[in-house]
Structure formats: C-alpha cells, structure tokens
C-alpha cells in the first residue's frame, strides 16, 4: 500500500536511497547527509513524500515538491549548519566535490518558482522488487497528489545515456523530453515534463 512518508520511515528511506542510487552524488555525500535531507522533506508542507509498504516494510518511495525554489531555499535556511557539518568528510575525501556542492547550494535560484509546477526529485524501488509495478503506482500517486494541489506540470531529470529502462519508464508514464541538459561534469540529462490535464 502507498502511504504518507513519516519520520518512522526515515532510516528505511535512506537505506533505500543508498541501494537505489549507487554511484550518484547524493549517495556519495553519505547517510548522515541523506538523513538531514529527507527529514527536511518529511517536515516540509510543500513536499510530496510517499512510501510503498508491504507488510509494513518499505519497498519503495517517491518524493518531490511544489514550488521547488521555495522548498530548497527553506531546506537550506533551516538545515545549513547541519549540512555543513556532515559534508566535511565528503569534501576531505574528494576536494573537487566542493565545487559541485556550491552549485547544489545555488539550486534554489535555478529551480522553478512557479507554484503550479512540481518537481519529482526521487523515485526508488528496492532492486529485488523492481518490475512489479511499484514504481508505476508511486508515480500515479505522485501525479494524483500534484493534481490535488492544483499543479499543472511535473518535471524531473534523469541520465540521458545508458539509462534506457528509466527513460522508457517515464515515457510510458506520459512524460515527454523537453530538453537535454549538459552538466559541468559533461553528463547529459533528459529533462522530462508531464502536463496535467
């Protein structure tokens, strides 16, 4: 079943993120960083946070937010000191990550400020439960929640290359590629949009 993500799910959400996003930058920043981030998601009124539970065990989750710029600004303002503390080990381990972190801190300025636009930021299904329709159910529930909040567009970004399964999944869900973005690390990202009618 799908239900609202709460503080009681936090540890399982972080573990699922670590398993679902192996090799990704946020995963590299570590579990302590993710705990602060997802606690911020859980406690923010504009955030959309849903979990898929089976026998009370978390098998997947989806998160995102209405008015992404306002969300990231509030998150940074509230937790900036905690973020700084937990990010020190990551910076010491990989000094070049400091510049990527600086770009992340400017995300509020580059994210949409339109209250009718929602960002789908994370969708995770535990590897052993993939292919069972859980991701589809989570995205449908996310879309339903955006509709309830009078949202008109949902956008997300995902890797353009070597990511055919994920790109195909979102296209089957009705998302369309609006543009391809090249990051400073030369990573090509598809930006998908879904217009809600």
Structural domain total, the chain: 1
Percent share of the chain, pLDDT over 70: 76
**Domain CATH number, residue 164:** 3.40.630.30
**Domain hosting residue 41, numbered range:** 2-195
pTM over 0.85: no
Residue-wise pLDDT for 97-142, tens only, equals 555 555 655 554 444 557 789 999 999 999 999 999 999 999 999 9
Residue-wise pLDDT for 134-167, tens only, equals 999 999 999 999 999 999 999 999 999 999 999 9
Residue-wise pLDDT for 20-74, tens only, equals 988 776 677 778 888 988 998 999 988 999 999 999 999 999 999 987 776 766 7
User: How many residues can be counted in the chain?
Assistant: 197
For 2-5, the CB contacts below 8 A with 24+ separation are 2/50, 2/51, 2/52, 2/53, 2/137, 2/138, 2/141, 3/50, 3/51, 3/53, 4/49, 4/50, 4/51, 5/41, 5/42, 5/49, 5/50, 5/51, 5/61, 5/63
- Region of 131 (left: φ > 0; alpha: ψ -120 to 50; beta: rest) is left
β-strands 57-66, 117-125: how paired?
A: antiparallel
């Amino acid at each position: 079943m799908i239900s609202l993500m709460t503080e009681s799910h936090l540890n399982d959400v972080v573990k699922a993120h670590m398993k679902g996003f192996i090799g990704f930058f946020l995963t590299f920043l570590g579990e302590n960083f993710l705990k602060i981030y997802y606690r911020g998601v859980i406690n923010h009124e504009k955030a959309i946070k849903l979990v898929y539970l089976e026998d009370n065990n978390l098998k997947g989750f989806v998160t995102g937010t209405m008015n992404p710029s306002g969300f990231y600004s509030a998150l940074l303002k509230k937790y900036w000191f905690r973020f700084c503390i937990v990010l020190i080990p990551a910076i010491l381990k990989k000094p070049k990550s400091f510049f990527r972190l600086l770009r992340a801190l400017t995300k509020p300025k580059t994210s949409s400020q339109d209250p009718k636009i929602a960002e789908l930021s994370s969708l995770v299904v535990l590897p052993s439960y993939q292919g069972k329709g859980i991701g589809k159910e989570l995205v449908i529930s996310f879309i339903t929640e955006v509709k309830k909040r009078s949202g008109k567009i949902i956008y997300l970004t995902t890797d353009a290359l070597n990511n055919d399964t994920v790109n195909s999944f979102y296209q089957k869900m009705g998302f369309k590629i609006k543009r391809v973005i090249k990051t400073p690390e030369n990573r090509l990202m598809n930006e998908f949009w879904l217009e809600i009618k």
